[in-house]
Amino acid sequence: MLEPRLAQRIAAKKAHLDELRPLPSAAVRRLNEQFTIEWIYNSNAIEGSTLSLRETQLILEQGITIGGKSLREHFEVVNHQEAIKLVEALASKQEPLTAFEVRQLHALVLAKIDHENAGQYRNVPVRIVGASHEPPPAWDIPAQMEMWVNWLQAQENVLEPIALAAVAHHKFVSIHPFIDGNGRTARLIMNLLLLRASYPQPSSPTPTDGNITAC
């Protein structure tokens, strides 16, 4: 599924990382802190956040309110931090991901931003601006998510981890189960799958969150 040369490069980097393990605890802690800041910054920037990497770091580490930035942007940072904590907890369990846990992640993503829709499947049709794909109707979302979970559980020990994470991300955003926050939730799930396979956290360059309008 991956271009062979790219797959080889990733495999080589992963093998080198594995050779260095176990890393010193202080190094692991510092790397985790830095990865988390960059993960939150990149995921929110994809969806239009105007916070810089440094501003994101100040909000996370010092609780500073950045002048000229919206309250929503601040909540997006702290919410994502809480969602990552759940991702790490779920990754450590090594148990199949459930639709309930997906909704838990989404509830954290939209906490204090959209209380009514946080953790709730959408009940209206949506369209993705600039895309020809039409997400399934709202009444079909529970069934679509059940099929997605079943597919994920069936493929978790079949597909190579990066392919699994990529296809799971694609299938999830195609369903677009939520009115908002789909991209962030999809990237959290993608990272969860990669963390379980001992990969460090990447950030997806695909905007799938903000350019949504209800029909």
Would you name the residues annotated as active-site residues? 176
**Rounded distance, CA 141 to CA 48, Å?**
26
Contact 128, 183 (CB under 8 A): no
**How far is the C-alpha of 211 from the C-alpha of 37, rounded, in Å?**
24
Q: How far apart are CA 71 and CA 59, in angstroms?
A: 12
- Counting runs of H as helices and runs of E as strands, what totals does the chain give? 8, 2
- The whole-angstrom separation of Cα 209 and Cα 46 is 8
